[in-house]
Structure 1
Amino acid sequence: MRVLTLAATIAVLMTSQVQAAPQPAPRWAIVVHGGAGVIERSQLTPEQEKAYRAAMTRVTQAGAKVLEDGGSAMDAIEATIHLLEDDPLFNAGRGAVFTAEGRNELDASMMDGRTLAAGAVAGATRTRHPISLARAVMEKSPHVMLIGEGANAFSKAQGLEQVEPGYFFTERRWKSLENFLKANGLPVPAKPAGADQPDPANGLAHDEGKHGTVGVVALDSRGDVAAGTSTGGTTGKRWGRVGDSPIIGAGTYASNTSCAVSATGTGEYFIRLTVARDICALVELKGMSLQAAADEVVQKKLTALGGDGGIIAVAPDGQIAWSYNTSGMYRAAAAEGRPLTVGIYKDEP
């Protein structure tokens, strides 16, 4: 009996040691968000929830494949955001919200954590993939940000795919604009040319409120991190309003000395707090874990200021984090040797 008890004890100890052993740091990792906001179980039909989970799974798998094959963090981010910009479920590219004048004005940014090179565009109207335009600004111009017609002209000169403005039109975003303008006593403009197309989302898209943005952060097998963000902005925006998404340090930031961050939320607050850079600074200068730094900025500083939204982040050592103070955020993550995870609601991991 003593022998059996001893053997059992050894087995338990061995099992505990195996379970307690830390996972090796992944060589690559990717985190994706599709916007934060009023996203609650009671508001999404089963069909809508299935569509969003499928979309987040599909785009994350695509980015993970780039990294798994040895591709760079920058390439993985661009490839993933291309898919998000083409998916009318999200407020970026096709499916972007409208300004008060009835236009789709698109913002995007990218940053390379290895070199601190960055590129951004605001108010672009004819580039199918604004994230590629942001990368072109970074790699093929001496500038960091281009706006409006200048961004359009640069895009065309670089040979990026051009589309007519009507390409971005979706009926549900137009209806959101009409409701916003009527509620604020503003005139409703005429629909843009090319607006007579069928709903490309088949009625599955959900209005997440004012926080629709897409973003990706990635770590590649060379140990480099990068971040990218793309958005249509806010419904009914006026006077050339620009949010945090194309502003380096606010909606996007990446450095190999700390982490990479992409944000989504009420941009004015993210700009005031330089949310993305602040998280990276806490990691680099205070030695905080990535999750602790993210929560410090989002749950405490952003919330105290009255702002709402969320972030995703990844560090060069493989740490992954997200934090948001809204009721939901479309999010997904994958890493070497770990299963892909997808979440929408607050009560999910």
Structure 2
Amino acid sequence: MSHAAAPVLAIHGGAGVIKRDMSPAREKAARAALTLALQNGYAQLKAGKSAVDAVAAAITVLEDDPNFNAGRGAVFTHDGKNELDAAIMDGYSLKAGAIAGVHRVKNPIVLARAVMDRSNHVMLMGEGAEAFAKEVGGIDMVDPSYFRTEERWQQLQKALKEDAEKKPHADVETAKHFGTVGAVALDSQGRLAAGTSTGGMTDKRWGRVGDSPIIGAGTYANSGCAVSGTGWGEFYIRTVAAHEICMRVTQMRVPLKRAAAEVINQEIPSMGGNGGAIALDANGTVSMPFNTDGMFRGWIGADGVPHVAIYGDEDDGTADPLPTPDAGT
């Protein structure tokens, strides 16, 4: 995977409390969706399309799948609504597009790309973002009820009950902080791109926006590195996590896997946060660090074979021997 002309795609479907008590049917569906996302994104790369095309194609699959907290199946806010955020960035041009707090856009990543390609702006929010979608056309709009799933609704009801009883959320990580989908890609021209899409946090209030649509926090790409994060967004914003990883790679010449591990598995946890990320460098090296029980993840490289994993103790095919950053080696 060291040749820049060999396309590579990596994806995630969120990190968090992902234990082996998932139902077989759910696990099978999640793995199938991750595989389809890899295949659809990689088909773009094999056809000579751009890394941006591949990222958008992969994320669209996961937005359409109710097993993930993005697009259909997004979690509910405190007020019982689905608020969707997304961002995409072209590492070659450093162009980027992002949207936050939309309710009617079927595939938020498609609108984020339209902001990048068809406006002079980087981030649009709420009603303005939806007005832009209608104005430029070609963006599928849906009734807000499209995003609703009964499972997500029940998660909100549980959270509201715990709010009323002043109880800490028993499954705070699952219920609140996790669930994002993302992709990073390297195309045959050696260009990188990253994208992320999310439904945010269960029970979130006051129009809270996490790291996913913030360029540099949950999503970032430049000429040498692309990153999409998933985790407790506030900490990814405060550490500018995606940008931090890429700066270590491109400016400090830290190997990708070490750079990603330092930020995701050391810096963020040291502040009290957690989560994961997918990262890709210009040589096609893939890194998928996380400090939670699991992360829905996968990658596909030169041989065209999708590699998909969910659990923390599951081999995802990226585990080169990595000295701990503390070892000083």
TM-score with structure 2 length normalisation? Answer: 0.90
Question: Structure 2 matches for 1:41-60, cutoff 5 A?
Answer: 41=20, 43-60=21-38
Counterparts of 2:119 and 2:308, CA distance in 1:
36
Residue 339 of structure 1, CA deviation: 3.1
Counterparts of 1:56 and 1:82, CA distance in 2:
11
Is this contact kept in 2: 1:38–1:208, CA < 8 A? no
Q: Please tell me whether residue 213 in structure 1 is matched to residue 180 in structure 2.
A: yes
Q: Please tell me whether residue 288 in structure 1 is matched to residue 254 in structure 2.
A: yes
Is this contact kept in 2: 1:100–1:238, CA < 8 A? yes
Q: CA RMSD in A?
A: 1.4
Higher radius of gyration, 1 or 2: 1
Counterparts of 1:259 and 1:23, CA distance in 2:
14
Flag the 1:23–1:225 CA change in 2: closer, same or farther, 3 A: closer
> What is the CA deviation profile of residues 262-294 of structure 1, one whole-angstrom value per residue up to 9, with x for unaligned ones?
000010000000000000010012111111110
Larger deviation: 258-267 or 25-34? Answer: 25-34
Counterparts of 1:51 and 1:40, CA distance in 2:
16
Among all aligned residue pairs of Structure 1 and Structure 2, give the percentage whose two residues are the same amino acid.
53
Counterparts of 2:5 and 2:297, CA distance in 1:
19
Counterparts of 1:71 and 1:157, CA distance in 2:
26
Question: Structure 2 matches for 1:9-158, cutoff 5 A?
Answer: 27-41=6-20, 43-158=21-136
Residue 185 of structure 1, CA deviation: 1.2
Partner of 1:181 in structure 2? 160
What secondary structure, in the 3-state scheme, does the structure 1 residue paired with 2:213 have? coil
Which of 238, 246, 249 is the equivalent residue of 2:213? 246
What secondary structure, in the 3-state scheme, does the structure 1 residue paired with 2:277 have? strand
Is this contact kept in 2: 1:261–1:313, CA < 8 A? yes
Residue 65 of structure 1, CA deviation: 1.0
Is this contact kept in 2: 1:36–1:208, CA < 8 A? no
Which of 140, 162, 166 is the equivalent residue of 1:161? 140
- Give 1:284's aligned amino acid: T
Is this contact kept in 2: 1:109–1:119, CA < 8 A? yes
Flag the 1:209–1:47 CA change in 2: closer, same or farther, 3 A: farther
Partner of 1:237 in structure 2? 204
Is this contact kept in 1: 2:2–2:285, CA < 8 A? no
Counterparts of 1:284 and 1:305, CA distance in 2:
25
Is this contact kept in 2: 1:218–1:225, CA < 8 A? yes
Residue 156 of structure 1, CA deviation: 1.1
Please list every run of 5 or more consecutive structure 1 residues that lacks an aligned counterpart in the other structure.
1-21, 187-206
- Give 1:106's aligned amino acid: L
- Give 2:70's aligned amino acid: A
What secondary structure, in the 3-state scheme, does the structure 1 residue paired with 2:129 have? helix
What secondary structure, in the 3-state scheme, does the structure 1 residue paired with 2:11 have? strand
Counterparts of 1:152 and 1:216, CA distance in 2:
23
Counterparts of 1:323 and 1:209, CA distance in 2:
21
Please list every run of 5 or more consecutive structure 2 residues that lacks an aligned counterpart in the other structure.
166-173, 316-329
Counterparts of 1:211 and 1:68, CA distance in 2:
32
Residue 26 of structure 1, CA deviation: 5.8
Is this contact kept in 2: 1:26–1:336, CA < 8 A? no
Flag the 1:270–1:224 CA change in 2: closer, same or farther, 3 A: same
Residue 209 of structure 1, CA deviation: 5.5
- Give 2:56's aligned amino acid: E
Flag the 1:304–1:166 CA change in 2: closer, same or farther, 3 A: same
Counterparts of 1:283 and 1:225, CA distance in 2:
14
Counterparts of 1:73 and 1:66, CA distance in 2:
8
What secondary structure, in the 3-state scheme, does the structure 2 residue paired with 1:348 have? coil
Partner of 2:265 in structure 1? 299
Counterparts of 1:39 and 1:337, CA distance in 2:
29
Counterparts of 1:172 and 1:252, CA distance in 2:
28
> What is the CA deviation profile of residues 163-207 of structure 1, one whole-angstrom value per residue up to 9, with x for unaligned ones?
111111111100001110111019xxxxxxxxxxxxxxxxxxxx6
Partner of 2:169 in structure 1? none
Counterparts of 1:23 and 1:134, CA distance in 2:
30
Counterparts of 1:238 and 1:208, CA distance in 2:
14
> What is the CA deviation profile of residues 234-287 of structure 1, one whole-angstrom value per residue up to 9, with x for unaligned ones?
00100000000000000000001x200000001000000000000001001211
Larger deviation: 331-340 or 96-105? Answer: 331-340
- Give 1:348's aligned amino acid: E
What secondary structure, in the 3-state scheme, does the structure 1 residue paired with 2:14 have? strand
Is this contact kept in 2: 1:26–1:335, CA < 8 A? no
Q: Find runs of 4+ consecutive structure 1 residues off by over 3 angstroms.
A: 22-26
Larger deviation: 212-221 or 338-347? Answer: 338-347
Flag the 1:25–1:221 CA change in 2: closer, same or farther, 3 A: closer
What secondary structure, in the 3-state scheme, does the structure 1 residue paired with 2:177 have? coil
